[in-house]
Structure 1
Amino acid sequence: MTNQDLLTLVLDAADDKKAMNVVALNLEGISLVSDYFVICHGNSETQVQAIATEIKKKAEQHGFRVRGLEGMDTARWVLIDLGDVVAHVFHRDDREYYNIERLWSDAKVVEKV
């Protein structure tokens, strides 16, 4: 599977758990960390955990290795590192505060994959 397939898988998993305001940023040529960032939010800690758990579960089911998972205990900003794709699942209030889309404003927003 390609990194495009992984991106689609992450977006589908977030959608399955009703993630809000899902944005995918193409970081190819901009960042050495990852090719794509997926940024979304949930309206409660429980929803944030459910979204992150679903992304992790679907990735592992399709043979992708989760390299890191941070923030599940507080569920305010959960980061799932899948290598070429990094998912950021925020609580609604924290997403507004950190506004990482602004930090990566030079990245192209990925339209429907």
Structure 2
Amino acid sequence: MNNTKQATQAVSDTSELNELIIDSIQDIKGKNIVKIDLRSLPEAPADYFIICEGDSTTQVSAIAGNVYKRVKDEMGFIPHREGQEASTWVLVDYFDTIVHVFYPETRALYDLEDLWSDADFTEFQNL
């Protein structure tokens, strides 16, 4: 496969991945979903952050678990995960996209949106 096809496939895969992640969050009624496009920032650790929150540690854990399960089942990607034990901030790392599932107070404390405020933001409706 030539480099152009590989690049096109990678963008397509990332777009499909991001859509599936957002749908997986909405399945479990995750709130305040934001996708941050970090591609224009040279110091960024990934191309995208997807950030959301749950009303309880149980919901935070369920959201992260649903993202993991659906992406694994539907796309075959297995991420690195951290924070599942305490479930106040669960990180699900797909390399190009990093999902941050927060408990509201923890989200306010770390305020990732402010830290990366010079990136492009897309907000999604609470269902």
Same fold (TM over 0.5): yes
For 2:39, the equivalent position in structure 1 comes to: 28
- Residue pair 1:3, 1:85 contacting (<8 A) in 2 also: yes
CA distance in 1, matches of 2:88, 2:105: 8
Q: How does 1:41-60 map to 2 (within 5 A)?
A: 41-60=53-72
Letter in 2 for 1:109: F
Between Structure 1 and Structure 2, how many residues are aligned?
A: 112
Identity %: 37
Q: Secondary structure at the match of 2:75?
A: coil
Q: Which residue among 112, 119, 126 is the counterpart of 1:100?
A: 112
Segments of structure 1 that go 5 or more residues without pairing to the other structure are none
Find the aligned partners of 1:45 and 1:78 in 2 and give their Cα distance: 10
Aligned to 1:4: 15
- Give the 3-state SS of the residue equivalent to 2:58 in structure 1: helix
* TM norm structure 1: 0.92
Q: For structure 2, which runs of at least 5 residues remain unmatched after alignment?
A: 1-11
What is the rounded CA distance, in whole Å, between the counterparts of 1:61 and 1:111 in structure 2? 26
Alignment partners' CA distance in 2, 1:110 and 1:22 = 8
TM-score w.r.t. length of structure 2? 0.82
> What is residue 89 of structure 1 aligned with on the other side?
101
Q: Measure, in 2, the Cα distance between the counterparts of 1:21 and 1:106.
A: 19
Q: Any residues of structure 2 matched to 1:58-97 within 5 Å, and which?
A: 58-97=70-109
SS at match of 1:2: helix
